[in-house]
Amino acid sequence: MIICENINKEFGEPPQRVLNNISLTINSGEFVAISGRSGSGKSTLLYIISSLDLPSQGRCLIMGEDISKMPSDRIHEFRNLHVGFIFQFHYLLSELTALENILLPPRNLGKEGEYEARAFELLDLMSVTSVAHKTPSQMSGGEQQRVAIARALIMNPKYLFADEPTGNLDSENAQTVMKILKKVNKEEGTTVCLVTHEEDFSSMADREIYLVDGEISHR
């Protein structure tokens, strides 16, 4: 479970408030869409609830732990074991094959061999087995993003955070990615938090958190 209490976020000098008094709860196994217009604070909120950033005021609890009070080594361990990230750009390493990219998280923990079978399962789930030994430059945009999703899922994370993961894809590949996220949520019980400005995609979630000027709108 994720609990945010009175979250404020400010940037710059003088401080400009981007999030204002946000309180919310995301239950384990839920699929939540965070939506709103450009500049509403969607990505900023996602980064705070995913442990990538800290609030200026307030606190965010994940699995009962206050992220802001975790030492850096504990945060890195927490992310490696429990969290998967997907961004608008795939961020695959250009010199590595799809399989090698997917195995990066366990490789960082010295457990690459233990997860190779899981990597091939994910390649099959994403329908990209054919690119297992290809580098990113040899893949299409849709294939690259599906490999990035497989990398995010390799450690069987409890939480999957996705920031506009369909933003660089055509409509067909975007639908494919959304179906994969829905499948992972329903079949593996992964909590999914998706930032999107697409109403069609936010409607696929169990619940929508709609932001207007850094505040939750009950529209």
H helix intervals, the chain: 42-49, 72-82, 98-102, 104-108, 116-125, 141-153, 171-188, 199-202
The burial class, CB within 10 Å (0-12 / 13-18 / 19+), for 14 is exposed
Q: Rg for the chain (alpha carbons), in Å? A: 17
Domain positions in the chain are 2-216
**Tens digits of residue pLDDT in 97-117:** 999 999 998 988 888 889 999
Pairing assessment for the beta strands 57-62 and 159-163 based on DSSP bridges: unpaired
How far is it, in rounded angstroms, from Cα 207 to Cα 31? 7
Sheet architecture: strand order including 16-26 = 16-26, 2-11, 57-62, 65-66
**Two tokens, residue 97:** 């094959």
Tell me the C-alpha distance between 102 and 118, whole Å. Answer: 10
pLDDT of residue 219: 60
Q: What is the rounded (10 degree) CA torsion for 155, 173, 97, 72?
A: -40
pLDDT over 90 at 46, yes or no: yes
3-state DSSP assignment of residue 160: strand
**In terms of CATH, what superfamily is 2-216?**
P-loop containing nucleotide triphosphate hydrolases (3.40.50.300)
Rounded mean pLDDT of the chain? 91
Interval 157-183 mean pLDDT: 88
pTM of the predicted model, to two decimals?
0.89
Q: Is the pLDDT assigned to residue 218 strictly greater than 80?
A: no
